[in-house]
Amino acid sequence: QLQLVESGGGLVQPGGSLRLACAASGGTFTDYSIAWFRQAPGKEREGVSSISTSGGNTNYKDFAKGRFTISRDNAKNTVYLQMNNLKPEDTAIYFCAAAPSDFGVIVGTFRIEDHHFWGQGTQVTVSS
């Protein structure tokens, strides 16, 4: 069983930056692609970005393109999400999730049911 733990959330002013981390343990990290999802109050969980098992392929939702960067360090079993130029509408709980294939990353989908393991989430609040 893969365990995922997110960190790096917090309160930031509009235009600011945060770097989220997703640390994995208990399984073979390189068997899984990793995606970031977010859920704002009263809204459905939505995909943000994803990265393939090797890190060679990435995928972003339109709102994240040009502002967010996903990366992974397989030696440290960790995936990062660098978020720049944050906006109030980015306020949400951010979750990382693991899927046992690169299919979703390659075709650009963020299906919740494809992701077998989830972290508990980290709160990101963008406010002045």
What local confidence, expressed as pLDDT, does residue 30 receive?
Answer: 96
How far separated are the first and last CA of the chain, in Å rounded? 40
The amino acid at 96: C
**pLDDT tens digits in sequence order for the chain, 128 residues long:** 899 999 999 999 999 999 999 999 999 999 999 999 999 999 999 999 999 999 999 999 999 999 999 999 999 999 999 999 999 999 999 999 999 999 999 999 999 999 999 999 999 999 99
Residue with token string 């960790």 = 78
What burial letters (b/e) apply to 14-52, b meaning 16+ CB within 10 Å? Answer: eeeebebbbbbeebebeebbbbbbbeeeeeebebbbbbb
